[in-house]
Amino acid sequence: MNRRSFLRAVGCGAALLGGGRAGVRASPADERPDVLFIAIDDMNDWTTLFDPDNPIQTPNLKRLAARGTFFRRAYCVAPACNPSRTAILTGLHPSASGVYGNRDAWRELLPDVVTLPQHFARHGYATMGAGKIFHHGAAGRDRPGNPSFQAFFGMRPTRAPKPNHNGYREGPLSKTWFDWGVHDRKLIDCDTVEWVEKAMEETTRRPLFLAAGIFKPHLPFYADRRTFDRYPFDKTRVPPRKDGDLDDVPQIGRNMVAKEDFIYKNVIARPEDSPGSLKTMVQCYQASADFADQMVGRLLDQLDATGRADRTVIVLWSDHGYHLGDKETCVKFTLWEKATRVPFIIVAPGVTQPGSVCDHPVSLLNIYPTLADLCGLPERKALSGVSLVPLLKKPDAPWPRPALMTMGRGNHAVRSDRWRYIRYIDGTEELYDHESDPWEWTNLADDPGHARVKHELARWMPKQEVPWPINKSKHWIYRNVTWDDAPQGRAKGARPAR
């Protein structure tokens, strides 16, 4: 694609990009760094980035981490695409924005909010993006008269097979959306990355904020045959499971699992070597996550080719994790570890130390203020998060703030170095000790000896939350649960949360 047709395709014109030879960025009048903002969908922590013994191979994430700071204990704001991405891009926690679920249209709830790319555009940056940045679908659509990006290439539809790869011919799993398997057609992330590669070749006299939204490993779990060859079926590992794992989980926690319970119930019942089995699904998730890592590698290669890598701040994150049979579920939408712990890397030349690792629990809600801080933009007082620059400079610096996660109004988890404490809107609780229980099999919330731990972690939960205009009696999170409308919610007749 030549420069003229590229500009026509993105619809930005000379107001966005300046002249110059493709592949050679013009000498900028503004010496502030560029930003490469990489979003990945549904990638959990079962990768070699976190542990070389993990099954999912992510050499390019490791390559990126070697350039800057890897936050080994990073957590999403919400274990669902729309509230997680909205929180990152607006800097507002769900309790402040009202975006609690995938169907909440952020542009209607927050008509005047200044999004992260808008903040950069207002202070002299060219802003471009492609793929899945906000949530796809109606709720995640940008404001037509006040868009977040000056140029944007939307996510292409999946090139669906007929019939499904996974062998299901009836029910929800027969739909492309819930498919998995070897897929030889061009995957939509290739379209996204090709567009971003072209954008990197263009020239601008303004610093550039460039976002790349990689859809994999979101369902359908697809990858090409060459990628699958790295994950032989007979060597596929599935997460450990405990019989009766949900016996000590409160009703709302079990409701969260039930959101897509049909996946687990079907795959666990299939013969292991079936294309619709849990083991095959896990194999396909691993290959799909590997494919996403390959897309990251292409972006890094292209950035290096521009000669601007040493003047580019890179941030990579996943919107949430994913359960793969652990906790008796194959879903996100829960407040447990595997649905909330994510890869998170920041490379800031001149600030981060190559190969540094931060072990403090941190939230992705801090991305907005951190990028503004790194690039010299004015501080925005209304943001819910704080800058991570002190940890980028010194990863072991004191950091008293645990990570906060929210799924629906009134349901929160707090993750400290050792503990995960969950409290639901009806006052029911979970508490897990990660020193002895990494898969969260034993709920310690009713042990009086842990009352102080719960009290200390509960201090970080929201004191006030904006309403969520839903029918509580019908919403899947609150089915078979009643509570009063006190600020923190409490089941009628239940004991107060300790």
Q: Give the active site residues.
A: 81, 135
- Spatial distance between the Cα atoms of 425 and 429, rounded to a whole number of angstroms: 9
Location of structure tokens 């809107």: 425
- 78 near 96, Cβ under 8 Å? no
> What is the rounded distance in angstroms from the CA atom of residue 215 to the CA atom of residue 43?
10
Q: How far apart are CA 177 and CA 156, in angstroms?
A: 14
Identify residue 388 by its one-letter amino acid code: L
For residue 18 the two structure tokens come to: 């300046």
Nearest CA to 96 among 383, 371, 364? Answer: 383
**Is the Cβ–Cβ distance between 481 and 410 less than 8 Å?**
no
**DSSP secondary-structure letter at 484?**
B
Residue 262 near residue 171 (C-beta atoms within 8 A): yes
- DSSP helix/strand/coil, 222: strand
Cβ neighbours for 477, distance < 8 A, ≥ 6 positions apart = 252, 255, 256, 407, 408, 411
Are 78 and 85 spatial neighbours (Cβ–Cβ below 8 Å)? no
CA–CA gap between residue 357 and residue 494 (Å, rounded)? 43
> Which of 333, 341, 369 shows the shortest CA–CA distance to 87?
369
Task: Tell me the pairing of strands 221-223 and 403-406.
Answer: unpaired
Instruction: Record the tokens describing residue 338, joined without a space.
Output: 């595997």
Q: Which two tokens stand for residue 60?
A: 């390019």
With a CB cutoff of 8 Å and minimum separation 6, the contacts of 219 are 42, 177, 178, 179, 180
Q: Which amino acid is at 92?
A: L
